[in-house]
Structures are given as structure tokens and as C-alpha cells.
Amino acid sequence: MRYAHEVGKVRAAERALMARLPDGALMQRAAAGLASVCARVLPAVYGARVVLLVGGGDNGGDALYAGARLARRGARVRAVQAGSKIHEGGLAALRDAGGRLLDGDPAEAIAGADLIVDGLTGIGGTGALRDPHARLAALASEATGIVVACDVPSGVDAGTGRVEGEAVHADITVTFGTHKPGLLIDPGAARCGVVELVDIGLGDDLPDPDVVAARPADVRPPEPGPESDKYRRGVVGILAGGDEFTGAAVLSTGGAVHGGAGMVRFASVAHPVELVRQRWPEVVTTVIEPGPHDPKVLERVGRVQAWVAGPGLGTGDAAESLLAAVLATDLPVLVDADGLTVLARRRDLLLRPAPTVLTPHAGELSRLLGVPREDIEARRLEHARRAAAELSATVLLKGSTTLVAEQDRPVRVNPTGTPRLATAGTGDVLSGLIGALLAGGMSALDAAASGAYLHGLAARLASAPHPSAADAPISAYDVITALPEAFRSV
């Protein structure tokens, strides 16, 4: 896992460590790591044109001391001061090593640099950058040289990933001690480039992480053993589709079939049932008559270990009664799409002891929480946590960075997302996939996070099946067919 900590916790850990170290030692550790990465990405340090963008905080000092190290190796280092303050010790070290402070308009120097080091702001920076910082961030982002950010690209909120106004687009971000949430969550994550973590010794002083992102080795879907049969592998029940939205039935069922379920049971009205039978003959189907349903309707479907309810189901009385019946069980339930619309008016259905997974996009979460969609999109981490607490559920908030939140647990950030998933039906596939993982015995948090990881990986494999291939448009069905390869990859 990649672990990320909120800014206040990082600051507290830094203070605790600095109290045990000689004055300035922590900054020197950070500067040494920053300089090492800069030297590694340059074709040659000697003679390289390096421009430091220096603010008045500690990241400005890190940049200056790193610049001094590069200057001592023959780089031509120039510092651009933003604002009225500068780290005096760092500036003195740079000058002693042969670097200098640049006078006048820095645009030409930035445009001609081989390497630009962004030390304009630090992890405490919030809100939109103002000039001269905003102009320097824009110049750096437009330059052809390699851009390396200290700790977090200037203009990116380190705690949330929020970006208001101009922000540096880094090729590499060198972060110190631990990852920060904003490095993992869009839109900030998209401005970080490759993130390099430099160990400065904070480990023993850091508490439990606030946000985590999985690596391939962390994704462990259930695997069949010698004694497995279709029932031990997990039986998932799916209530999806209707006469109007038949595709949701086929796609969510396909996600479960290719998601490792031992058996898939599907129930809906006659037309989607017939389509599922034609496309997925291995699925056990049940026709449910339209209209209000007896609470015992689920007994006709058969025994399952987890339920998926909602994709294309409709939002009327019939859908509500089915959803109420499913949520009255003591089994794990995933609710998506139309099911979430029903829950927005029937939040009382979520008062249950069994695990519940909700998979909204920002618009659906806005209805569940009564919060404007734009507020959710602007503060995704905050609202994912709030939803998990208010709704007593595991909440998977879809988006360019998918977040999975559960109360009193670190938020899981999915690193495999791709814009190619922005096509109709991929959310239905995800629902069936997570339902299969739930039926296989995974916890709600692990099933949702692993499902998101595998789903994103499958989309990437489908859009570029060979390493040398360019990304190509994909459909939801392409994601289904790529799921076996995604499973093999982890």
C-alpha cells in the first residue's frame, strides 16, 4: 500500500523528529533526496541549466539547498524569488556553491531551463495561487524542461487534491516522509506526474494513515481451492434491468460472471431475463412479474451469499419493494444506479446490521446527502467520508479518482482509473464484479476497493492490450472480456 497522511499529522511528526535532530538536519535530508532525484532525471548534471522557483516557506529552503548540491556538481543554477521572503540559509548555501538569485523577468530563463524545481508553496498551501506565484506556476507548466515539484505541486491542496486556479504541472513530484492525500486524488494527482517518496525518518512519529492506495500485490480476490465448488466460491444474486433498461441487466450480470462468482442468480421482468439467458447461459434466472412484490419474492430466486440491486431497475413502487426486501436480509448488499435514487427518498432502508456497499457518482451522492453536485466534485474526499458516516455504509464514490470510504477506516484511493471508463454501462459491470467479490467472502471495504482496482485495470488492458499500443475507445462489454486478464495480472 501507499500510505498518505493529512497535513496536520505530517507537521506534528516533523516537529517530533526535529526535536531529536540537530537544527536544520531534517531540511538537509529532504534537500539531499530532492537533489538525488533531480540529478537522476537530468542527462548530465554538469552544465545543466537549472531554475529554482522559490517561495518563502520550507519547500523554498529545500529547493535552495538541493540547488546548491546540484551547483557543486557543475549545474548552472538560478533561483527565482517569489514574494518578499526567502530562506536565508538556503540562499547562502546556493551562492557559496556558485548559484545565484535571478534578477528581472524570469520568463526566458524558465523557458530555456533543462530542469525547473518548484518550491513555490508547501503542503500548507490552500486556495488559489496569487501572483507572482500563479504566473511562475504557469511559466513552469508551459516550459519544455523537466519540472520537479517539492512535496506537492504548487497550487494543489495537499490534503484534498483540490485545485483552484493555476497549478504547476509537474513531471515528477518528490514528496517527503509520507504521501499526502492530494497526491493521490484528482485533480491534484493529475498534476503530480511520477511521485517519488523520500524517507526522511518520519516513520515512527506518524500515526495510522488517512488515505491508502493499493499496489498490485495488495489486491487479493478470492481464489478457488481444491475443495471448491460453485457454492463455496460464492453465489451472487442480481436484481437489475427492466423493459426500458435491458443493457444494465446483461452488463451487471457479465461483471459477476467474469468476476469470479461460483454462480450468478438473476431476477427481473421477462424481457431482460430472456436477454441474460441468451448472453450468459450459465446464469440461473427467475422472472419476476411487474408491480409491487411480496417480501418473500427473494425466496423464489434462491439462496445467495450477496445481493446486487439497482442497475436499470427503475425507481417506482416495484423497484422500491424489491430493494426493501433485499435490504431486509442479513446478507451483504450492493446498491447502485436506480437503487440509489430510491434510497435518496428511503434512507431508512439503510438501517441494517449487514454490510452495505453504495456506488454513487457525484450526482447520485448529491441526492443522497442533499448537497449540490459541484460541492461534492470540489471536495470529494470530505463528502465520501461524510457519506460513509451518515449512511452507515461502505461508499464507493466514482470519478476520475474513485474513493472507497468506510467510517473510522483509511479511505481507499483507486490508482487504476482511466478516462476510457467514461462510457455507458461500465458502472453496471463494476456492480456485478463487486457483488461477486462480496459473495466470495471479501469484506465490503476490500470488495469495493479490489473491484475498483480490477475494473480500472481491465479497462486499461482493453483500451491498450499491448504495451506498445495506443489507447483505443472501449465499450462496457470490452471491460467484461478483459476482466480475466486483470485477475491474472494481480
> Can you give the pLDDT at residue 293?
67
Q: What average pLDDT does range 41-63 have in this prediction?
A: 97
DSSP state of 113: -
Q: Say if residues 305 and 280 touch (Cβ distance below 8 Å).
A: no
Q: What average pLDDT does range 33-48 have in this prediction?
A: 98
Strand partners, 405: 395
- Convert the pLDDT of each residue in 328-338 to its tens digit: 999 999 999 99
- Convert the pLDDT of each residue in 156-186 to its tens digit: 999 999 999 999 999 999 999 999 999 999 9
Q: What is the DSSP string of 216-258?
A: GGG-------TT--TTTT-EEEEE---SS--HHHHHHHHHHHT
- Convert the pLDDT of each residue in 345-392 to its tens digit: 999 999 999 999 999 999 999 999 999 999 999 899 999 999 999 999
Residue 166 grid coordinates:
493555476
| pLDDT greater than 90 at residue 289 | no
* Phi, psi of 411, rounded to the nearest 5 degrees: -70, 135
- Enumerate the known binding-site residues for K(+): 59, 118, 154
- Convert the pLDDT of each residue in 296-329 to its tens digit: 789 999 999 999 999 999 999 999 999 999 999 9
Tell me the residue type at 91: L
> Can you give the pLDDT at residue 279?
97
| pLDDT greater than 80 at residue 470 | no
State how far the Cα of 229 lies from the Cα of 283, in Å rounded to an integer.
16
Q: How far is CA 64 from the centre of its chain?
A: 32
| pLDDT greater than 90 at residue 466 | no
What residue segments make up the domains of the chain, in order of their start? Answer: 2-213, 216-489
- Enumerate the known binding-site residues for (6S)-NADPHX: 58-62, 122-128, 151, 248, 312, 361, 428
What's the predicted TM-score (pTM) here? 0.93
> Can you give the pLDDT at residue 280?
97
| pLDDT greater than 90 at residue 413 | yes
CATH 1.10.3210.10 holds for 2-213: no
> Can you give the pLDDT at residue 54?
98
Tell me the residue type at 394: T
State how far the Cα of 26 lies from the Cα of 35, in Å rounded to an integer.
14
Q: Say if residues 87 and 60 touch (Cβ distance below 8 Å).
A: yes
- Enumerate the known binding-site residues: 58-62, 118, 122-128, 151, 154, 248, 312, 361, 398-402, 427-428
Q: For the purposes of burial, counting CB atoms within 10 Å of the CB of 296, is it exposed (0-12), middle (13-18) or buried (19 or more)? A: exposed
Residue 74 grid coordinates:
557543475
In degrees, rounded to 5, the angle at the alpha carbon of residue 203 between the alpha carbons of residues 201 and 204 is 105
Terminal Cα distance for the chain, rounded:
14
Q: For the purposes of burial, counting CB atoms within 10 Å of the CB of 225, is it exposed (0-12), middle (13-18) or buried (19 or more)? A: exposed
Q: At what angle do helices 25-41 and 7-18 cross, to 10 degrees?
A: 120
Of 440, 459, 443, the C-alpha closest to 256 is 440
Q: What is the DSSP string of 263-316?
A: EEEEEE-HHHHHHHHHH-TTSEEEE--SSS--TTHHHHH---SEEEE-TT--SS
Q: Say if residues 320 and 338 touch (Cβ distance below 8 Å).
A: no
> Can you give the pLDDT at residue 232?
81
Q: What is the DSSP string of 171-218?
A: SEEEEESSB-GGGTSTTTGGGS-EEEEE--S-GGG--S-SEEE--GGG
State how far the Cα of 319 lies from the Cα of 386, in Å rounded to an integer.
27
Tell me the residue type at 415: P
Indicate if the alpha-carbon torsion angle 345, 351, 354, 356 is positive or negative. positive
Residue 243 grid coordinates:
423493459
> Can you give the pLDDT at residue 231?
76
Neighbours of 426 (CB within 10 A): 24
What is the residue-averaged pLDDT of the chain?
95
Q: Say if residues 444 and 356 touch (Cβ distance below 8 Å).
A: yes
Q: Which CATH superfamily includes the segment(s) 216-489?
A: Ribokinase (3.40.1190.20)
- Convert the pLDDT of each residue in 81-134 to its tens digit: 998 999 999 999 999 999 999 999 999 999 999 999 999 999 988 899 999 999
| pLDDT greater than 80 at residue 53 | yes
> Can you give the pLDDT at residue 137?
98
Q: Say if residues 52 and 63 touch (Cβ distance below 8 Å).
A: yes
Length of the chain: 490
- Enumerate the known binding-site residues for AMP: 398-402, 427
Q: Say if residues 256 and 235 touch (Cβ distance below 8 Å).
A: no
Residues 6+ apart with CB under 8 A from 392: 350, 351, 356, 407
Residues 6+ apart with CB under 8 A from 59: 119, 120, 121, 122, 123, 150, 151
